[in-house]
Structure 1
């Protein structure tokens, strides 16, 4: 386990929006009716112990939502994993958390023949770019405290997007998407280069979360200097 894995977990919570956040019995409970993503609608457990699961279930039941628990570093939380399994929680979404220093990533990424600009908000141009590359614009991203929204263009047309959000010296990489016609042509590295440069200016390290069933993305990030910090998965009741 990387010594700062806990720092990355805290930064991941801080750099992704939830409209409701409560702390109950050491649990961090997140709910966002605007976003259909587990990372916005899951509970982060205390570092030790399994008490309080009933309170977690009450929190989500009151909002008409399924109870979801993010089990980070499951090799260290076998007790929690087993307790959730016994209550009927199924395992889903195994994910690898990766990290890198920003400046080497800038050096490793080619700018390519793309114009990449970073916007300070989710304005109309970024939302339109997300749709243009085949993505779905997500609401509530304006809640991020410090973020940049990347648009890669070729000939004036959007070909890729990404989002970068910083907290406490860590910059999370989110929402990377490339138009199907432009995949494998360096769009993602161009977007990542721009975001990594911004993170470097802030003195921040980079981190990202990639599902384990996406080996292509994992290989790409590893080739650019990202290393494994730890893993997590979700338990859904």
Structure 2
């Protein structure tokens, strides 16, 4: 992926989760948040050719503010020196996550099942997002962060007019982003996630957006759905904590 695309993706990734403050230190984005969203509280390089020179300054910036230092680093050969420096400082890699991208045109045609698009989450949307099978404290923090994301939309789908599957789409300077895909446990396997993804894709297409990204933990079975929706892997990363 071209360096300019990597930088655009990282900037739009952080903007989507709307941390209270973001620093830029030595070519890194350093979001400052004490919540539960990893992307909102871990530093990420704006280039995959970054060296380790800024790691110490970034660690100090977190500690000076009473925050736990964390880094989000792609598993690419050109960042090996960064990972070596983090290891030397006592950090360890956790939570392997896949960064995926797709074309909006393909996503918009993924499902013909209808879904609703909301300008803000309603009570039924929140009930799924905070419901059975999900951590309510983490969910509440994620809703608060995502509703701060400028222009975000909220997808909702279900049977008989109910809301049983939900998702969020953010709009950055260059990319749309998919976040918060959740389906109530009793209604999984009914195509609700596909309906939500496609509906949000159609909204993005209407806005003239061409590309979309998402990030999914490596062990998450939802990767199968995203592959069918046209997403392909851009890179894998770990959180270093």
TM-score, normalization by structure 1? 0.88
Against the structure 1 CA distance between its residues 154 and 220, is the aligned structure 2 distance closer, same or farther, given a 3 Å change threshold? Answer: same
Larger deviation, residues 35-44 vs 48-57: 48-57
Other-structure match for 2:157: 152
Other-structure match for 1:196: 201
Other-structure match for 1:107: 109
Other-structure match for 2:43: 43
Other-structure match for 1:23: 24
SS in 2 for 1:30: strand
Gaps of 5+ in 1: none
Other-structure match for 1:98: 100
Contact 1:96 1:231 in 2 (8 A): yes
Larger deviation, residues 117-126 vs 136-145: 117-126
Q: Specify which of 180, 186, 209 is matched with residue 215 of structure 2.
A: 209
Other-structure match for 1:61: 63
Q: 1 CA distance for matches of 2:46 and 2:179?
A: 25
TM-score, normalization by structure 2? 0.87
Larger deviation, residues 7-16 vs 184-193: 7-16
How far apart are residue 201 of structure 1 and its match?
1.2
Against the structure 1 CA distance between its residues 133 and 203, is the aligned structure 2 distance closer, same or farther, given a 3 Å change threshold? Answer: farther
Q: Deviations over 1:68-117 (max 9, x none)?
A: 01113533200101110111100012111111111222222241xxx521
Other-structure match for 1:130: 129
Contact 1:74 1:233 in 2 (8 A): no
Greater share of residues in strand: 1
Other-structure match for 1:116: 115
Gaps of 5+ in 2: none
Other-structure match for 1:230: 235
How far apart are residue 168 of structure 1 and its match?
2.3
Larger deviation, residues 68-77 vs 185-194: 68-77
Larger deviation, residues 126-135 vs 36-45: 126-135
What's the C-alpha RMSD, in Å, of the aligned pairs?
2.0
Q: Specify which of 160, 180, 183 is matched with residue 185 of structure 2.
A: 180
Q: 2 CA distance for matches of 1:122 and 1:82?
A: 42
Task: Provide runs of 4+ in structure 1 moved above 6 Å.
Answer: none
How far apart are residue 61 of structure 1 and its match?
1.5
